[in-house]
Amino acid sequence: MLSRNAEGLYWIGRYLERARHGCRLLSDQLATMEDRPVEEIDQGWRRLYRAVHRTPLGGFLASGEEDEDFMLADAYTMADDLTFEPGNPDSIRNCLAAARENARQVRNILGVRMWDCLNLAYLDIRDIGIETIWNDQPDAFYLRTEDAIRTFSGIAVSSMYRDDGWHFLWLGWFVERTQLLAGLIDAHLAQYPTAAQHSESDWRALLRICEAHVAYRHLHSHSHRPGRMVDFLVADPLLAHSVRHALARVTEALDAVSSGRSLAVEAGRRAGRMAAVIDHDWPNRDPDDDDATRTALQDVRNSCLLLHEDIAATYFHYEIVDAP
């Protein structure tokens, strides 16, 4: 497969997962505004911003500030920043625009329905602003956008030819998911240490964002044990939004694209090492030691950055030593 096409598909995967994750975070955060005290809502924003490695343009509410109007104005500004802000490369609109721009470049190998779906999602968000969704039902907007991305992935699953293009799409998707999940759980622990007293709803929200609440309840009833929740989100290979599952998909894609090739396989080795650390080292850590847990999560995140560089250097922008 043409390297530029592979790279285009890889980035479509990354940007769509980033946009989907953004929708998920925001719809959950806006839901907290229905019935939670101002202080808790503020904490939610702090976790959210920490998870996406960004600082709000106007800063957070001053500690102890409990003015409802301030809270609402802040929420409006921050939702705008994360959804529409042109200067924020990771805003949902920018992610969709970037995914669509990559899709334009590779349209000849993308199914017509996949393009239509992505193009419509982009056109839907292109000309609106926060005021449009705020005065309507912001939840519905995030849900609709997330659904469009899910539809895109559904069409991909049901229609794409399983060649390298398919593998690079999901490689990007799951590298991004691994990185985002590690960042989110790390940010959550920073905001809500396991030893501190927090309402259950903060932790349940984390499960909801990761679409893990139903499975968790099924496995662990209603037991509220933050350590167990973190374990579940990091190490359970059967959970679609766990770090371990995402890594399994990364490894699977890398195995497929490197099979029978003489190219360097550093990327595959690195992904394998990341998975092995979760399988073997993670269970041995002290679950009450948040610092150790966070360090492990930060290692996963940093490894994702290096993994991306390995992939780019192996498949997209490799050095030409000699022609065949």
Partner 1 sequence: MNRETGGRQSMADGSGPSVAKRLFADYETRPAYYDEMFEAAGVPRAHCLELCEALDGMQPDEIAAMQALAERSFLHQGITFAVYGEEGAQERIIPIDFLPRLLNAADWDVVERGLRQRLKALNLFLADVYGPGRIIADGVIPVDLVRGCPQYRVVMRGLEVPHGVHVALCGTDIVRTNDGFMVLEDNLRVPSGVSYMLANRRALKTSLRNLFRRHHVRGIEHYGQLLRQTLSELAPPGVSDPCIVLLTPGVYNSAFYEHMFLAREMGVELVQGSDLLVHNGIVYMRTTAGLRRVDVIYRRIDDDFIDPLAFRAESQLGTPGLFYAYRLGNVTIANAPGTGVADDKAVYAYVPDMIRYYLSEEPVLANVETHLCREPEELAFTLDNLETLIVKMVGESGGYGMLVGPHATPAERAAYAEQIRKDPANYISQPVLDLSVSPCLAANGAAPRHVDLRPFVLHGSETRLVPGAFCRVALVEGSLVVNSSQGGGGKDLWVLSS
Which residues sit at the interface with partner 1, rule CB under 8 A?
1-6, 101, 104-105, 107-109, 112, 115-116, 119-120, 123, 164, 168, 257, 261-263, 315-316, 318, 320, 322-324
Structure tokens at 269: 């080795």
Residue 197 CA to residue 291 CA, distance in Å, equals 17
- 49, 55 Cβ separation under 8 angstroms: yes
- Provide the sign of the torsion angle of the four alpha carbons 106, 108, 114, 118, taken in this order: positive
Looking at the Cβ atoms of 116 and 289, the one nearer to partner 1 is: 116
- Least distance to partner 1 from the beta carbon of 247, Å? 21
- Least distance to partner 1 from the beta carbon of 23, Å? 22
- Least distance to partner 1 from the beta carbon of 5, Å? 7
Looking at the Cβ atoms of 72 and 313, the one nearer to partner 1 is: 313
- 291, 299 Cβ separation under 8 angstroms: no
- Least distance to partner 1 from the beta carbon of 174, Å? 17
- 8, 99 Cβ separation under 8 angstroms: no
- Mapped onto helix, strand or coil, the DSSP state of residue 218 is helix
Residue 77 CA to residue 184 CA, distance in Å, equals 21
- Least distance to partner 1 from the beta carbon of 109, Å? 7
Q: Which residues does 206 contact at the CB level (< 8 Å), separation at least 6? A: 184, 185, 188, 229, 233
Looking at the Cβ atoms of 33 and 109, the one nearer to partner 1 is: 109
- Cα 148 to chain centroid, rounded: 16
- Least distance to partner 1 from the beta carbon of 161, Å? 12
Looking at the Cβ atoms of 5 and 88, the one nearer to partner 1 is: 5
- Least distance to partner 1 from the beta carbon of 107, Å? 5
Looking at the Cβ atoms of 34 and 127, the one nearer to partner 1 is: 127
Q: Which residues does 305 contact at the CB level (< 8 Å), separation at least 6? A: 179
Residue 167 CA to residue 157 CA, distance in Å, equals 11
Looking at the Cβ atoms of 101 and 299, the one nearer to partner 1 is: 101
Looking at the Cβ atoms of 70 and 316, the one nearer to partner 1 is: 316
